[in-house]
Amino acid sequence: MNEIVWHNRARKQIKKIPAQYRQAIIDHVGKLEDFPENQGLDVKELKGHQYGFRLRVGRYRVLFDHDGGIRIVMIQEVKKRDERTY
């Protein structure tokens, strides 16, 4: 089981997202407690990016790091998908 930790930047970004999308994002992030065992999520490892992984939730992307040894998932950013997201 992982501990989910939200970076302050991600907390501010999630507050600006419309409520209908916000709840879906929070629900999907909650499922990261079982990462990487939970195969039902759309998670992709990022190559050459400052964050290790991205979680796709509709038009939004949750960028996060995972430390497999300590079992912490650090949510770094939540962004709407566009040409500048990655």
- Maximum distance among all Cα pairs of the chain, rounded to whole angstroms: 35
Q: 33: closest CA among 1, 67, 61, 65?
A: 1
Question: How far apart, in whole angstroms, are the C-alpha atoms of residue 34 and residue 81?
Answer: 25
In this prediction, residue 85 carries a pLDDT of 65
Q: Does the pLDDT value for residue 70 go beyond 80? A: no
For 4-47, how does the pLDDT look when each residue is reduced to its tens digit (9 = 90+)?
999 999 999 999 999 989 999 999 999 998 888 877 889 999 99
Name the H helices within 16-55. 19-30
Domain 3-80 fold: YaeB-like fold (3.30.2310)
Measured CA distances, 72 to 17, 35, 43 (Å): 24, 10, 16
In this prediction, residue 7 carries a pLDDT of 94
Question: Quick check: bond before 18 cis, omega within 30?
Answer: no
